[in-house]
């Protein structure tokens, strides 16, 4: 019995610790963000993306959607999408970390030659 308790503690110390990921802010859905276009009204943008996390009283024409995620392993990701309006109409979109294209050509491969 005396050896059983230290053995249990020793074995439990060897097991890996599982940590959950942490997310904060707005969930930025790339499919919905791709539907947002200049010229849309604030109501149309809010319908697609939801309420922005940050709005400024002094700059009501700027909306910021901010997302933060840290995986259980400690890898962090930050993303901010800023939308700029003029008289209630979307003029510009700035994305701090746009998604990569699904298919990107490797830089090591030569470009395809056109058929002759």
Please give the helix or strand (H or E) that residue 56 lies within, else none.
Answer: strand 54-56
Query: Which of 8-17, 31-40, 57-66 ranks highest by mean pLDDT?
Result: 31-40
Distance separating alpha carbons of residues 67 and 17, to the nearest angstrom: 26
Averaged pLDDT, 89-95: 96
Q: What whole-number distance in Å separates Cα of residue 35 and Cα of residue 109?
A: 32
Give me the helices (H) in 1-116, please. Answer: 4-14, 30-35, 42-49
Per-residue pLDDT at 98 exceeds 60: yes
Would the CA dihedral through 67, 31, 103, 82 be positive or negative? negative
**pTM of the predicted model over 0.95:** no
> Which of the four pLDDT bands, split at 50, 70 and 90, describes residue 112?
very low
Residue 88 pLDDT greater than 60, yes or no:
yes
Which residue, among 29, 45, 50, 47, has the nearest Cα to 83 in the 3D structure?
45
Residue 29 has φ and ψ, to the nearest 5°, of -90, 115
Q: Who wins on pLDDT, 20 or 116?
A: 20
pLDDT tens-digit readout, 47-68: 999 999 877 888 889 999 999 8
Map tokens 């700059």 to a residue. 59
């Amino acid at each position: 019995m005396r050896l059983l308790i230290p053995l249990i503690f020793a074995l439990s110390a060897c097991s890996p610790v599982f940590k959950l990921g942490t997310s904060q802010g707005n969930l930025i859905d790339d499919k919905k963000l791709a539907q947002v276009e200049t010229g849309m009204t604030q109501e149309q943008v809010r319908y697609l993306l939801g309420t922005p996390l940050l709005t400024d009283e002094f700059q009501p024409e700027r909306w910021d959607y901010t997302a933060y995620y840290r995986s259980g392993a400690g890898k962090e990701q930050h993303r901010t999408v800023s939308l700029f309006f003029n008289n209630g109409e979307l003029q510009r979109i700035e994305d701090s970390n746009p998604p990569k294209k699904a298919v990107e050509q490797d830089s090591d491969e030569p470009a395809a030659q056109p058929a002759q």
